[in-house]
Amino acid sequence: MSELFRRDPRAQWIARNRLHPLHQTLVIGPVFGPSGLLRKNLHSIGFIGPNGLKRIDRSGASNDSAQGSRRAAAASEVILPLHQVLEPAFYIVVVLDLVSGRLNGHDKDTLGLAQQLANRNGGAGAVVAIAFGELKDDSLDKAGVDRLIHLDSPHYEQYNPEQRCNDLQVIVDDLKPQHILLPDSINGGGDLGRRLATKLQQRPACGVWKLIDDTVTCRGSAGKSDITRPLSQLMLVMEECSEPISETRHENIVIPQDTSQFTGAKLIDQGNISVDPNAIPLAEAGFILSGGNGINDWPQFHHTASVLGATEGASRVAVDDGNMPRERQVGATGTWVTAQVYIAVGISGAIQHMQGIGQCEKVVAINTDEGCDMVKRADLSAIGDSTEILTRLVELIEQRKQTINGGATND
């Protein structure tokens, strides 16, 4: 939409004519009476609240006339204040995971914690983000990166933790950072951080999830205990260890840095191996399509699972009837699952089954019976014939894949 303000003579004329039937809908802003006093027409502002009473929002945010919304749209692209560190008193180094070249939540939380460390006690440190390989994300400035070291060459596209560790050693020697933070993740940060710790002969704080003054709280005993210990230079931090940066922009100044000289790698990456979703143990699967007694067309169920890339699960009945192998059984008597999304097709939801999916984040039910327990539990329930719904879902997903692929080639 154009940013130009266009005059609408008719609207202006109606706005001047207080007797026009549409007058009240267009009057926005101050109206000055004949004596020069500001007049407010209380009938034209506000809205009727849910209990039938008139509500007036004096901030004006809920007014949505044509001109008002245009202004609001323009104002919504808020330019956040820029946080500048001209002369960094010290550095906080953050090594980003950058899964497929983008910041993920864990990276952002790590940067958030780094900013906390850089600015606490009135300090004026700069957060130096280190990125290996391709960097597709252009929101680094909004995520709290003051300085950026970007090491990019084709071999960073592979898993080469020894090279990266060596690079980090060089950088740490240069910058002498007060703290080095890495996400304690399986996406590389956990591994790289521990390698760096051995090279630097440092004892890292691992599994850090809370910072209080000069101490950090870490998860120990594989998540069963909390260890409170002093801040250490090298810290491997957990997801949600801090709020991500959201109210400031940062300079994101690139510090040039070359790849360090390193020979003698003992690991050679041979690339990823494609894994069948059904080879993933049910308990670890993030996305499960589970079938029960209500499924008539099992080949179609398997087809849907493969199109969705979902791991297959089953209710006890489906297993008993021989439609699915026993290790696919979900529930208290089968496997307890922790999927992010669990789609239950034709499963009415025996108590044991509901117990087994208690930890799933989003449950989708596809069932003919609207009154069944699964529908009561589900976040989204589709009532209807499962075969038809799955067929349509597969079509939609294939269409979507085509448009995405098509879009990608156009780019």
Partner 1 sequence: MTNDNLSVISLVSIGEHPTSRRPRRAEQDARAIELGIKLVGENLQTLHAGELPDDANQQTALRSYLGMGLAEMNLLEMPAQADAVLVIAEHLKQQNPDVILTGVRAESGESSGMLPYLLAEHLGMAMVTSIADILSVDEANQQAEVLQALPRGQRRKLIVDLPFVASVDMAAAMPRQSAFGPAMRGLLDTAVAGDFADEEASTWQTSNAKKRPKRLKIIKAKTAADRFKAATAKASGGGGKVVHGVEESAQAILDLLVEEGLV
Partner 2 sequence: MSSSEFLSQFLFTLITFALLLTLVGAVKRILLWSQGQSSTIHWLGLLQIPRRYLVDLHHVVARDKYMSNTHVATAGGFVLSAILIILLYVFQLKLQILTWTLLGSSLLMFVGSLFVMRRRRNPPPNLSLGKWQRLPKSLMVFSLSFFILTLPATGILPSDTGGWLLAVLLVVGIIWGIGEMFFGMTWGGPMKHAFAGALHLGLHRRQERFGDGQSTGLKAIDLNAKKLGVEKPIDFKWNQLLSFDACVECGRCEKNCPAFAAGQPLNPKKLIQDMVIGMAGGDDAKFAGSPYPGIEVGTHKGGAIIPIVNVLVENETLWSCTTCRACVDACPMMIEHVDAIVDMRRFETMEKGQTPGKGSEILENLSATDNPNGYAPSTRMNWAADQNLTVFGQNVEKQEVTQADVLLWIGDAAFDMRNQRTLRAIIKLLRAAEVNFAVLGDAEFDSGDLARRLGDEATFQRLATSNIRTMNKYQFKTIVTADPHAFHCLKNEYVEFGGHYNVLHHTGFFADLVSQNKLQLDNSKELALTYHDPCYLGRYNGEYDAPRFLLESMGVKIKEMDRSKSTARCCGGGGGAPVTDIPGEQRIPDMRMADVVETNAEIVAVACPQCNLMLEGVVEPRPEVKDIAELMLDALIEGVVENTGEGVVANAVGGEV
Q: CA-based angle 160:166:169, to the nearest 5?
A: 140
220 belongs to the binding site for partner 1 (CB under 8 A): yes
Binding mask 165-184 for partner 1 (x = CB under 8 A): --------------------
Binding partner 1 (rule: CB under 8 A), the pick from 8, 64, 157, 269 is 269
Sign of CA dihedral 349, 351, 353, 358: positive
- Alpha-carbon dihedral of residues 134, 138, 142, 144, nearest 10 degrees? 20
Closest separation in Å from C-beta 385 to partner 2:
19
Cα of 249 vs its chain's centroid, Å? 19
The 3-state secondary structure of 60-112 reads CCCCCCHHHHHHHHHHHCCCCCEECCCCCCCEEEEECCCECCECCHHHHHHHH
Binding partner selected for residue 131 from partner 2, partner 1, none, CB under the kind-specific 5 to 8 Å limit: none
Closest separation in Å from C-beta 386 to partner 1:
10
Using only C-alpha atoms, the chain has a radius of gyration, in whole angstroms, of: 29
326 belongs to the binding site for partner 2 (CB under 8 A): yes
Stretch that binds partner 1, among 37-45, 86-94, 317-325, 388-396 (CB under 8 A): 388-396
Amino acid at 345: V
316 belongs to the binding site for partner 2 (CB under 8 A): yes
Binding partner 1 (rule: CB under 8 A), the pick from 96, 111, 206, 330 is 206
What angle, rounded to 10 degrees, do the helices at 298-308 and 386-410 form? 30
The pair of three-digit structure tokens given for residue 262, joined into one six-digit string: 């390193």
Binding partner selected for residue 396 from partner 2, partner 1, none, CB under the kind-specific 5 to 8 Å limit: partner 1
Q: Which is nearer to partner 2, 164 or 316 (CB)?
A: 316
Binding partner 1 (rule: CB under 8 A), the pick from 231, 253, 255, 397 is 397
Q: Can you tell me the distance from the alpha carbon of 225 to that of 232, in angstroms, rounded to the nearest whole number?
A: 19
10 belongs to the binding site for partner 1 (CB under 8 A): no
Report the half-sphere exposure of 316 (CA within 13 A, side-chain side): 14
Q: Note every long-range contact of 255-263, with CB atoms under 8 Å and residues 24 or more positions apart, other chains counting.
A: 255/128, 255/147, 255/148, 255/149, 257/149, 257/150, 257/151, 257/167, 257/171, 258/151, 259/151, 259/153, 259/163, 259/167, 260/163, 260/166, 260/167, 260/169, 260/170, 262/162, 262/163, 262/166, 262/167
Q: Which of residues 60-99 bind partner 1 (CB under 8 A)?
A: 61-62
Closest separation in Å from C-beta 89 to partner 1:
27
Q: Which of residues 302-341 bind partner 1 (CB under 8 A)?
A: 308-311, 340-341
Q: Which is nearer to partner 1, 88 or 277 (CB)?
A: 277
207 belongs to the binding site for partner 1 (CB under 8 A): yes
Residues touching partner 2, count (CB under 8 A): 12
> In terms of residues, how long is the chain?
411
Q: Which is nearer to partner 1, 120 or 401 (CB)?
A: 401
Closest separation in Å from C-beta 292 to partner 2:
10
Closest separation in Å from C-beta 264 to partner 1:
9
Binding partner 2 (rule: CB under 8 A), the pick from 314, 317, 344, 345 is 317
Amino acid at 161: P
Q: Which of residues 348-377 bind partner 2 (CB under 8 A)?
A: 350-352, 355
Q: What values do phi and psi take at 234, rounded to 5?
A: -105, 125
Binding partner 1 (rule: CB under 8 A), the pick from 8, 157, 174, 388 is 388
Name the residues that contact partner 2, by CB under 8 A.
293, 316-317, 320, 322, 326, 332-333, 350-352, 355
